[in-house]
Amino acid sequence: MNPGGMTPLARRLLRRVAAGGPMNVAEFMASALYDPEEGYYRRRRPLGREGDFITAPEISQLFGELLGLWCADAWDRLGRPTPVRLVELGPGRGTLLRDLLRAARALPPFAAAIELHLVEVSETLREQQRAALGEHAAIWHEDLAEVPEGPFLLVANEFLDALPIRQFERAPDAWRERLVGAAGEGLGFALSGPLPPALIPSALRDAPVGSVVEICPAAEALVSEIARRAAAGRSAALLVDYGYAEAPLKGSLQAVSRHRMVPVLERPGEVDLTALVDFGALAGTARRAGAQAWGPVPQGHLLRDLGIHLRAERLAVQASDAQRAALASAVRRLTDPAEMGERFLALAITGPGAPAPAGFAPPP
Ligand X SMILES: C[S@@+](CC[C@H](N)C(=O)[O-])C[C@H]1O[C@@H](n2cnc3c(N)ncnc32)[C@H](O)[C@@H]1O
Query: Distance between CA 209 and CA 172 in Å, rounded?
Result: 6
- Binder of ligand X out of 22, 39, 57, 357 (CB under 6 A): 57
The residue among 63 and 360 lying less far from ligand X, judged by its C-beta, is 63
Task: With H, G, I as helix, E, B as strand and everything else as coil, classify residue 278.
Answer: strand
Q: Is residue 91 within the footprint of ligand X (CB under 6 A)?
A: yes
The residue among 32 and 78 lying less far from ligand X, judged by its C-beta, is 32
The residue among 11 and 126 lying less far from ligand X, judged by its C-beta, is 126
Least distance (Å) between residue 193 CB and ligand X = 30
User: For residue 321, with 0-12 CB atoms within 10 Å meaning exposed, 13-18 middle and 19 or more buried, which class applies?
Assistant: exposed
User: For residue 73, with 0-12 CB atoms within 10 Å meaning exposed, 13-18 middle and 19 or more buried, which class applies?
Assistant: middle
DSSP 162: G
Q: H/E element holding 211?
A: none
Least distance (Å) between residue 208 CB and ligand X = 32
The residue among 157 and 292 lying less far from ligand X, judged by its C-beta, is 157
The residue among 17 and 33 lying less far from ligand X, judged by its C-beta, is 33
- Binder of ligand X out of 7, 24, 31, 55 (CB under 6 A): 55
Residue nearest to ligand X (CB): 90
Q: Is residue 157 within the footprint of ligand X (CB under 6 A)?
A: yes
Chain centre to alpha carbon of residue 35: 19
Task: Specify whether the backbone of 225 is left (phi greater than 0), alpha (psi in -120 to 50) or beta.
Answer: alpha
DSSP 313-339: HHHHHT--HHHHHHHHHHHHHHH-III
Query: Distance between CA 81 and CA 299 in Å, rounded?
Result: 27
Q: Is residue 147 within the footprint of ligand X (CB under 6 A)?
A: no
Query: Distance between CA 280 and CA 347 in Å, rounded?
Result: 9
Query: Distance between CA 106 and CA 276 in Å, rounded?
Result: 34
Segment near ligand X (CB under 6 A); pick from 91-99, 193-201, 245-253, 356-364: 91-99
- Binder of ligand X out of 6, 7, 38, 41 (CB under 6 A): 41
Q: Is residue 38 within the footprint of ligand X (CB under 6 A)?
A: no
Task: With H, G, I as helix, E, B as strand and everything else as coil, classify residue 68.
Answer: helix
Query: Distance between CA 301 and CA 352 in Å, rounded?
Result: 24
- Binder of ligand X out of 70, 110, 159, 294 (CB under 6 A): 159
Q: What are phi and psi of 3, to 5 degrees?
A: -60, -30
Number of residues that bind ligand X (CB under 6 A): 19
Q: Is residue 96 within the footprint of ligand X (CB under 6 A)?
A: yes
The residue among 92 and 268 lying less far from ligand X, judged by its C-beta, is 92
The residue among 47 and 289 lying less far from ligand X, judged by its C-beta, is 47
Cα–Cα distance list, 3 to 7, 8, 101, 160 (Å): 9, 11, 45, 33
Least distance (Å) between residue 218 CB and ligand X = 7
Query: Distance between CA 313 and CA 137 in Å, rounded?
Result: 32
Segment near ligand X (CB under 6 A); pick from 157-165, 288-296, 298-306, 312-320: 157-165
Q: Is residue 298 within the footprint of ligand X (CB under 6 A)?
A: no
User: For residue 192, with 0-12 CB atoms within 10 Å meaning exposed, 13-18 middle and 19 or more buried, which class applies?
Assistant: middle
Q: Is residue 94 within the footprint of ligand X (CB under 6 A)?
A: no
| Binding mask of the shown chain, residues 106 to 145, with x at each position contacting ligand X by CB under 6 A | -------------xxxx--x--------------------
Segment near ligand X (CB under 6 A); pick from 15-23, 50-58, 193-201, 281-289: 50-58
- Binder of ligand X out of 22, 92, 269, 341 (CB under 6 A): 92
Q: Is residue 61 within the footprint of ligand X (CB under 6 A)?
A: no
Q: Is residue 359 within the footprint of ligand X (CB under 6 A)?
A: no
Q: Residue numbers of the site for ligand X (CB under 6 A)?
A: 41, 47, 55, 57-58, 90-92, 95-96, 119-122, 125, 157-159, 162
